[in-house]
Amino acid sequence: MPELPEVETVRRGLNKSVKNKIFKDVLIFHKNIIEGNEKQFIQEIKNKKIIEINRLGKFLIFNLTGDNVLIAHLRMEGKFIPAKSLKEKSKYARVVFIFKDGTILNFDDSRCFGLLTLRKKKNYLNVPPLSHLGVEAIDPKLDFDKVYQLIHSSKRTIKETLLDQSIVSGLGNIYVDETLFLSKISPLSKANLLNKNEVKIILKNAKEIMLKAIKHNGTTVFSFTWDKGHAGEFQKFLKAYGHKGDKCVYCGTPLIKIKVGGRGTTYCYNCQKLKTDKYVLGIAGPVSVGKSTALNTLKKLGYKTYSADEAVDKLYQDKKIQTNLKSIFNTYKKDEIRKIINKNPNKLKKLTNLLHPLVKQDIQHFIDTNKGYLAIEVPLLFQVNFDEMMDETLLILSNQNKALIKNRGKKAGAQLNINNLANFNHYKNKATYVIYNNKSLNSFINEVKRIAKL
């Protein structure tokens, strides 16, 4: 989605190409792009002159003669494309504005998420969609104390808070990642735990980054272009966004990509410090790769820990669970059930359907009733979608776990088969961190310590 620098770039281009032009007609090819009645929209636009195109946050504001302003929100794929005549109607034109001089302005939107709205000049700033917008980081009149209070009152992560257009308008995914990277603050940090100096640094860096992006005509990622297909150039200066796996320019640690509030987020876990009252790390991996060692290492560092294996062992002792297990497997003994699953993998789903909802409920209780740093070991974390409960995840793998399992004796075959059934390699791209336990014990422990955030 175009952010403030991209929309500002579009605004400047439009002022050069269509300012002072007079609308003759409007062709609407997708009615959902227009808010309100189409016929009324066309009637209000006809014979009006574009006095100036302004911008507020990510919104373009066409100041027209008469009583109205035209407000445009580009959203994901919206573009304004000027052209010489109707013969140059663009491929994804959803609305075409025809000017009296014969030229046109295409509103091009392949995904049809954009929105064009007419509002009265006398109150357009006091009604939606503009009334909810917060101050821009580049606004010289920014009231720091007011913005700080809004950020400080948020219980969300700082990433989610900065994306909230009612707090700071104009920032989107790209520039929030860049701002937090430059500020050396983790996107997972709780907004209400940041002090005034940290918020000052964030706003200062947001302003600096966006002004530089405006200077370079925005960032061209995906399909953003402006003025006859010209691309912005700020992507050349990006240090975090789009650089997953690249080395941090400050410390050399590979950047990682996680999801924060459902948005892809790239950052350096070494440089960007975490401030939170609760952080939850989920640990997953095959049998005998070192999950318990990782959990114990984190416990020694001050983490509160939870083992799903231990929780499952307790469930196996529960009389009601034993009855349910016996009805499915004709036994409630764990080792015997493992053998049955190895012979008939389809029965694994029946076991998970019985036990995992109870484990999930127990994990949620553990998360809800504890603060600080929490580490939760769930071998099948990704397979059962428990990763959605975690802030970050650690997947432990090993090329040597066959030998480690065989050291356990007669259960080796069954355990190896469980590893194969789970297909852990499939989830490498979902994990925040992947550690291969192929070297010495000390080396493995040091790798765990490196991501501990303490």
Give catalytic residues, as residue numbers. 2-3, 58, 263
Contacts with 453 (C-beta within 8 Å, 6 or more apart), sequence order: 186, 269, 274, 279, 373
Tell me the one-letter amino acid at 265. T
- Tokens linked to 147: 């913005």
Are residues 253 and 270 in contact, defined by beta-carbon separation less than 8 angstroms? yes
- With CA atoms as reference, report the closest residue to 182 among 154, 197, 203, 161: 203
Extract the runs of DSSP E, i.e. beta strands, from 237-358.
256-260, 263-267, 278-284, 304-307
The three-state secondary structure class of 397 is: strand
| Helix-strand-coil split of the chain, %, nearest 5 | 40, 20, 40
Prior bond to 129 cis, omega within 30? yes
8 A C-beta contact, residue 95 and residue 105: no
Cβ contact 260:272 at 8 Å = no
Q: Let me know: does 162 contact 194? Beta carbons within 8 Å.
A: no
Q: How many of the other CB atoms lie within 10 Å of CB of 227? A: 17
**Per the structure block, which two tokens stand in for 95?**
């609305």
Q: Which of 199, 182, 181 is nearest to 190 (CA)?
A: 199
CA atoms of 273 and 377, how far apart (whole Å) = 24
Kind of pairing between the strands at 93-99 and 23-28: antiparallel
Residue type, 314: K
**Hey, what are 428's tokens?**
């490498």
- C-alpha span between 62 and 118 (Å, rounded): 9
Please name the helix (run of DSSP H) or strand (run of DSSP E) that holds residue 59, with its range, or none.
strand 59-64
